[in-house]
Amino acid sequence: LDHNLSILTKSGVLWDSEQELAIEKGNLMHLILSKIICKNDIDIVCNQFVIKGIITEQEKLAIKPVLLKLINDSEMTVYFKEGLKVFNERAIVTSKGKTLIPDRIVFEDNKATVIDYKTGAFEIKHEQQINNYASVLIEMGYDIDRKILVYLGDKIKIRDVN
């Protein structure tokens, strides 16, 4: 029994290193974006991550342009301006007691925009996930302004979900 358990826990070693790197990069981008409320936070957050040893100075130089490209995108910049009410990675409990954690919700008056970051290719389950987040917010009395899937990669792709 221990032997099988040992093999299972080490199965990650068998992963393709490119896939592993992609997963690590995706998790890192999610983590950094979870700390960014507005555009001015980019430098502060990146520097904090370097000081804490989470990323190297070289990684910061690779990550920062991607963050700037996202936040300066004509469709996205409005969701990163100062003074907005923003919930990043904040748990929402559904009426059935299930916990959901959207990447970013931007509130303006009674309207909410739900933003979810992805690092792979589009999958239909991404739309289902963001629609679940929106449904819970509707139950809570909010109107949904937009549901946005943001695919982070060499090129940033923004996909509105209906």
Q: Given its phi and psi angles, is residue 89 left (phi above 0), alpha (psi -120 to 50 degrees) or beta?
A: left
From the list 114, 134, 130, the residue with the least C-alpha distance to 122 is 130
pLDDT digits (tens, 9 = 90+) for 67-81: 999 999 999 999 999
Q: Taking the alpha carbons of 22, 23, 25, 26 in that order, is the dihedral positive or negative?
A: positive
Percent of the chain whose pLDDT exceeds 90: 73
CA distance 23 to 17: 10
Q: Mean per-residue pLDDT for 51-77?
A: 93
CB 116 within 8 A of CB 103: yes
